[in-house]
Each structure stands twice: as structure tokens, then as C-alpha cells.
Chains A and B, each alone.
Chain A
Amino acid sequence: MTITKNKEGTRMTLALEGRLDTTTAPQLEAEVKTSLYDVTELVLDLEMLEYISSAGLRVILAAQKQMNKQNSPMVVMNANETVMEVFELTGFTDILTIQ
């Protein structure tokens, strides 16, 4: 998986490309742990994300919790059909802001 980070002021976009699974989730987890503290708006762009498993969901949930704690919005964009189905089956459509 490739993570492309784009930061404009305190607005950060993380574009994910490839597979967010057991093997690659730690990459995103490291990013979430180190980069979010001064972010006031987080965008996860999933346009190029092909696949997600529960390991990926856990990291996205951690990011959402962190942003909630900071009283700052997080938006998930451009998820494909496969990824969206996983969000729907797990109720993540209710806890994420999906555009």
C-alpha cells in the first residue's frame, strides 16, 4: 500500500493506494499515531484503495476516535464498491462521514 500525505496548514489528506490489510495496516497506524496531533481536518481519500479487511477498519476507527477527541472532522472519500460494502456490513457507514 502507498500512502500519499498532503498537508495544507492543519488540513491533512491521506490518499491510500492498494490494499489496507493485515500486512499494510501498521503503515497507516504509524501515520495516524504520529501525524494527527495538530490536524484540524482529516481527509482519507480511498479512490485508489482496492481492498480493506478488519485490520484496516481498526486503524480507520482509531483515526476517527482521535479526531473526535480533538473535536475535528474526518471525512472518508471516494471509496469503491468493495470497500463500501465492508463499511456497510460493519456499520462503519454510521460512524464515519463518507462522501
Chain B
Amino acid sequence: MEKMVVHAKAEELESVNAFIQKHLEQSGCPVKVQMQVALAVEEIFVNISSYAYHPKTGEAEICVDVDGDPSTVTIRFMDQGYPFNPLEKPDTDTTLSAEKRGVGGLGILLVKKTMDHVAYTYEDGRNILTITKEIN
């Protein structure tokens, strides 16, 4: 498992995604799955950047590993911000009209729908969100 520590700021998204895409490319991950993982990473990392330490800032640690047969990517996001389980909130109702739609909840919904597994734990003062996706 390889690890990266960055400031939890939206400006770091590009370097976080580059770090993860490097692993996916080396594993022969199809472009479609690379895009889905990039989307999940954006949604999770931006959430951490916006809320975890608000209004202060802090660090986020991202670990990535590709393993198993079939090949599966596991990405773990850790921060030491406010305890927050993004999986606890009920899913956004995707059947509502435009007028009744709020702006929240779409990001985590996309993560849940595109990844095979999403898990949250709070341990030793850290939020830990883990996503996995079979890549080929």
C-alpha cells in the first residue's frame, strides 16, 4: 500500500488524482473505471477539504493499493477533522423534480453508485473512509 499526505485543500485534488491514476494505469485498469475512480476520489477529497477541518485546515492521508484476483483497487482516505460519517445520511431522492432538488448529497451518491464497496470508521481520532472497486 502506497501512501500520500497532503493539505486537505481542493487545490491538491489534481496531485491526489495523479497519484491514484498512476497505480490504476500500471494495473491495466480500463479508462472507464479510471474515470469512475477519479470521480469518487474528487467527491471524497473535496468533501474532506471543505468540511473536515472547517474553518481551519489540516492534512489528509490517502493510501492506494491494487491487489487480488480479480484485480481490485482499494483507496483509503484519513483525516483528523470532526467525526463525520458521510454514509449515515439518507440518499438523495433522485426521482424529485428539478424544483424540489437540493444541491447536497449528489457527490456521496455517485461514490456509492460507482464503487463496489464504501466503508466508514472512526478510529483513534481519525475519520477513515475506504472505497474498493474491481478494475478488471
Residues of A within 8 A of B (CB): 21-23, 51, 53-55, 57-58, 61-62, 64-65, 68, 81-82, 86, 89-91, 94-95
Inter-subunit contact A23/B13 (CB<8 Å) = yes
The yes or no answer to B35 lying at the interface (CB within 8 A) is yes
Residues of chain A within 8 A of B92, CB atoms compared? 90
What is the CB-to-nearest-CB distance from B129 to chain A, in angstroms, rounded to a whole number?
A: 16
CB closest residue in chain A, given B112: A89
B38 within 8 A of A: yes
The bracket for how many chain B residues form the interface is 20 to 34
List the count of A-B residue pairs having beta carbons below 8 Å apart.
Answer: 59
List CB contacts (< 8 Å) of B79-108 with chain A.
92, 94-99, 101, 103, 106-107
If A68-B98, A89-B114 touch, does A54 touch B10 (CB 8 Å cutoff)? no
The residue from A53, A64, A81 contacting B98, defined by CB atoms under 8 A apart? A64
- Picked from A61, A82, A94, the residue with its CB within 8 Å of the CB of B35 is A82
8 contacts between A and B (CB under 8 A): A22-B13, A23-B10, A51-B35, A53-B110, A54-B106, A55-B107, A62-B103, A68-B98
Tell me, yes or no, whether B46 is within 8 Å of chain A by CB.
Answer: yes
6 additional A-B residue pairs with CB within 8 Å, beyond A54-B110, A55-B107, A64-B98:
A22-B46, A23-B10, A54-B106, A89-B114, A90-B94, A91-B96
Other-chain residue from B43, B101, B109 in contact with A95 (beta carbon distance below 8 A): B101
Chain A residues near B10: list those with CB within 8 A.
Answer: 22-23
Determine how close the nearest CB of chain A comes to the CB of B88; give it in whole angstroms.
18
Check if B39 is an interface residue, CB within 8 A of chain A.
Answer: yes
Q: Which of B46, B97, B106 contacts A90 (CB 8 A)?
A: B106
Give complex CA distance A22, B99 in Å. Answer: 23
